[in-house]
A and B are shown apart, each in its own frame.
Chain A
Amino acid sequence: MRDVLVGDYLRGRGVSRRSLLKFCAAAASWMALPPTMAQEIAAAIEKARRPSVIWLPFQECTGCTESITRAETATLESLIFDAISLDYQHTLQAAAGDAAEEARHQAMKENWGKYLLAVDGSIPLANPGYSTIAGVSNLDMLLEAAKGAAAIIAIGTCAAFGGIPAARPNPTGAVAVSDLIKDKPIINVSGCPPIPVVITGVLAQYLTFGSIPDLDRLGRPRAFYGQSIHDRCYRRPFYERGQFAESFDDEGARKGWCLFKLGCKGPITYNSCATIKWNGGTSFPIEAGHGCIGCAEPNFWDKGGFYEALSVSRWGTFGTVAAAAAVGAAAGVASAALARHRQAKAPEGESR
């Protein structure tokens, strides 16, 4: 099956060349490539051999798989996703137990050095027994599979940055893929979950150019994570004008004003939600009236409350301020006593 060209496979699934070109034009746009590249992307995808992909789900909630497979609609992106040879994904595959593990080992052996390794979920280090597959710890499985991978795609914030499992106090000692693998190219496709077309865009790039996309400082494709939600938000003009919703049911909220004061993390979150959107380009959280929670960023779970504005800082409590004032008063009394003591000891002419 892997020897089938992607183009032949898609035609076999009823995908017309027009539809493929439409997808490629969109993919070129997402990746900030010139429109003329759409033809080349289409040609490259049609001629590409179906790459082997081994997908390892570790400490995760299956939300990333749910997002990327877009189970509710068979989109062109999902067909492109089908067009890879997904040789191991224990949530999706029919095989189970020893047969599934055998399939993984066989795919790794046949495509050693060439397969893409997709990982979703973080890796627990505190105890290997916290998360295992077929009795193998996540750590051992990752290290084994990474050895023969051409590149690794860390899908979702858990795989990319540790995500929710790594949130304080991180009881399982969860770490990201990039904390463990240093000798392979890693593409972080963060988000909780990530936008489906981001992963298909990365795959399109890999199929077209045989290379990984340009990455930002956090290892994310710059084409999708190059700008903040805030910069691309349709509510940005309200921010500029100083018009903010004060609660989720006030006049400002009804008028679609900026959600900054309601805790929106858009200014510090880099993702394509505001441009590509979700559910086939229907909407995204801010458009639905809820602030961005910053799920594509490291440690988003520990960045204070989701409904706490970014400008709120933790200065303490009135109790800690009172304690500081008491310390200050004690220091003041001590310094005044010292000064009085010096004055008393000084000769009369110098004392006042």
Chain B
Amino acid sequence: MTLFDFARGPGMFWATTIMVIGIVWRLAGAVLLARHKDRSTPRGDNRVAAGLRAVLMRSVPPHELEKHITFQHLTGYAWHIGWFVTFLFFVPHMPFIESILGFGWPGLPNQAIVMLAAITLAILLLLLVRRIVHPVLKVISDFDDYVSTLLACAPLVTGIVAFAHLFPSHHETMIGLHILSVEALMVWLPFGKIFHCVTGLPLRFQIGAAFARRGVKA
């Protein structure tokens, strides 16, 4: 069995299985934790609206901190959008998506996707360097941050290398490495900070709703 065969076969099966087990495990564990008994009188009356407002408001830089975190916000949005557009609109990915969903959608020209992937990778590497040299970021960053960033970079690196045929006599291996890099990300997803892609928005909603109950704007 070649690396490519492993990546397409058992590798993808186990990565999917581990990812699903991990996501459900962590979600169920968090949802079923003991909660405080709520003995106070609610001060806000529309917790759903407050939750949705928190989701929205926490998705843009707060005015007070705008000057300091706008760069982080914009580059963060840029690479997230670039990453997902690359994944969802690169036509050779479409058969994989169709094999899961049963349907697909039109893709973008490959050259446009490759350019987008290169820009996304450049932003990710810039943010990684910034994390390493920034006096505050480097103190609050841990192993999880670096692993998560590198695992987000890996599919872009291996994908660009495979697409560009940089190692023409090992193309199969390069596609295999590309699939493996995605599988590494899938396995890491439930256990690292990348899990925010599952919990991020619900938590913002929950914080907004909880604050509204206390009569505080989130």
CB under 8 Å from chain A, chain B span 47-101: 91-96, 99-100
How many Å lie between the Cα of A303 and that of B6 in the bound state?
A: 10
Query: Known interface pairs A216-B169, A244-B91, A311-B93. Does A328 touch B23 (Cβ–Cβ under 8 Å)?
Result: yes
* Interface contact B28-A240, CB-CB below 8 Å: no
Q: Does B40 contact A (CB under 8 A)?
A: no
Q: Does A340 contact B (CB under 8 A)?
A: yes
How many Å lie between the Cα of A331 and that of B169 in the bound state?
A: 45
Q: Does A126 contact B (CB under 8 A)?
A: no
Using C-beta atoms within 8 Å of the partner chain, give the interface range for chain B. 35 or more
* Interface contact B171-A268, CB-CB below 8 Å: yes
Produce 1/0 per residue, B12-34, CB < 8 A to A. 11011110111111111111111
By a CB distance below 8 angstroms, the chain B residues around A18 are none
B96 to chain A, nearest CB (A): 5
A79 to chain B, nearest CB (A): 33
Chain A CB within 10 Å, residue with most, of B30, B34, B109, B111: B34
Query: Known interface pairs A241-B109, A313-B96. Does A304 touch B91 (Cβ–Cβ under 8 Å)?
Result: no
How many Å lie between the Cα of A297 and that of B7 in the bound state?
A: 17
Choice from B18, B24, B96 contacting A312 with Cβ under 8 Å: B96
Query: Known interface pairs A240-B111, A312-B96, A315-B12. Does A303 touch B5 (Cβ–Cβ under 8 Å)?
Result: yes
Q: Does A336 contact B (CB under 8 A)?
A: yes
CB under 8 Å from chain B, chain A span 289-327: 297-299, 302-304, 308-316, 320-321, 324-325, 327
* Interface contact B91-A270, CB-CB below 8 Å: no
* Interface contact B96-A311, CB-CB below 8 Å: yes
Q: Does B2 contact A (CB under 8 A)?
A: yes
* Interface contact B28-A313, CB-CB below 8 Å: no
Q: Does A228 contact B (CB under 8 A)?
A: yes
B interface, over-half SS: helix
Q: Does A343 contact B (CB under 8 A)?
A: yes
* Interface contact A328-B9, CB-CB below 8 Å: no
Q: Does B145 contact A (CB under 8 A)?
A: no
* Interface contact B36-A316, CB-CB below 8 Å: no
By a CB distance below 8 angstroms, the chain A residues around B29 are 331-332, 335-336, 339
Q: Does B179 contact A (CB under 8 A)?
A: yes
Q: Does B131 contact A (CB under 8 A)?
A: no
Choice from B34, B93, B99, B111 contacting A343 with Cβ under 8 Å: B34
Q: Does A329 contact B (CB under 8 A)?
A: yes
Query: Known interface pairs A216-B169, A329-B28. Does A242 touch B175 (Cβ–Cβ under 8 Å)?
Result: no
How many Å lie between the Cα of A326 and that of B96 in the bound state?
A: 24
* Interface contact A315-B95, CB-CB below 8 Å: no
* Interface contact B16-A332, CB-CB below 8 Å: no
Produce 1/0 per residue, B100-112, CB < 8 A to A. 1000000111110
* Interface contact A335-B25, CB-CB below 8 Å: yes
* Interface contact B110-A339, CB-CB below 8 Å: no
Query: Known interface pairs A240-B110, A328-B22. Does A261 touch B8 (Cβ–Cβ under 8 Å)?
Result: no
By a CB distance below 8 angstroms, the chain B residues around A336 are 28-29, 31-33
What are 11 sample pairs from A and B whose C-beta atoms fall under 8 A apart? A240-B111, A268-B171, A302-B5, A308-B95, A315-B13, A327-B24, A331-B25, A332-B25, A336-B32, A340-B33, A343-B34
Chain A residues with a Cβ under 8 A of chain B: 216-217, 226-228, 230-231, 239-242, 244, 260-261, 267-268, 270, 297-299, 302-304, 308-316, 320-321, 324-325, 327-329, 331-333, 335-337, 339-340, 343, 352
